[in-house]
Amino acid sequence: MAKGYFGAAALALCCALPPAPAVAQEAAPIAATASRGPVTNLPLPRYVSLKSSEGNARRGPSLSHRIDWVFRHNGMPLRVTAEYGNWRRVEDREGAGGWVHYALLSGVRTVIITPDAADLHARPDVTATVLARAEAGAQARLGACLPDWCRVAAPGAQGWVPKSAIWGVDADELRE
């Protein structure tokens, strides 16, 4: 089978304003009791993805708070760290983020390739046939995860990658 190659997705994070000081970000209610969100009762932290091609990350959980970041990539994986009403405190792989309205988020799991390049294998084994190679920053949909490997799919390519090569899944997370 011919090897495929897919390039880095245009993960453009635009900084609308300078990042808020930590004190200002902590002023909004951030609550996680027993690692569960107070609104959804889902685990915190957890991963989601951006549902639209643009999402404003605000300094606090309401429309009256100023926009600190604008996420500009549909399907971008984000980590939810807090909940307040209809708002979720999210961060990207570099730690940038803010409060995003829940309607802009999806439960569809995606990941980002983190090393310069990662091989997609036919099986979760380093000796397995390499089906494709993904560049750093490439985005893929997350499938099953074993202790050290995850199955990912991107346009024109799918296969198994080591967990250490992706952002958007916890090291101890297992998925069927």
Mean pLDDT of 129-140: 95
pLDDT band, residue 160 (cuts 50/70/90): very high
Percent of the chain past pLDDT 90, that is, above it, reads 80
Q: How confident is the model at residue 34 (pLDDT cuts 50, 70, 90)?
A: low
The pLDDT of 157-171, averaged and rounded, is 96
* Residue 155: pLDDT over 50: yes
Is the sign of the CA dihedral 61, 64, 66, 72 positive or negative? positive
> How many other C-beta atoms lie within 10 A of the C-beta of residue 176?
6
pLDDT at 77 over 70: yes
Could you report the per-residue pLDDT of 50-71, keeping only the tens digit for each?
A: 999 999 999 999 999 999 999 9
Q: Indicate the pTM of the whole model.
A: 0.79
Average predicted confidence (pLDDT) for the chain: 85
Residue 116 has pLDDT above 90, yes or no: yes
Confidence category of residue 33, pLDDT binned at 50, 70, 90: very low
Sheet (strand 149-154) strand order: 4-6, 130-135, 117-121, 157-162, 149-154, 139-145, 110-113, 166-167
Query: How many residues are present in the chain?
Result: 176
Stretch 66-84: mean pLDDT:
96
Q: Which two tokens stand for residue 141?
A: 């949909």
pLDDT in tens, 38-50: 999 999 999 999 9
Q: How far apart are CA 46 and CA 113, in angstroms?
A: 18
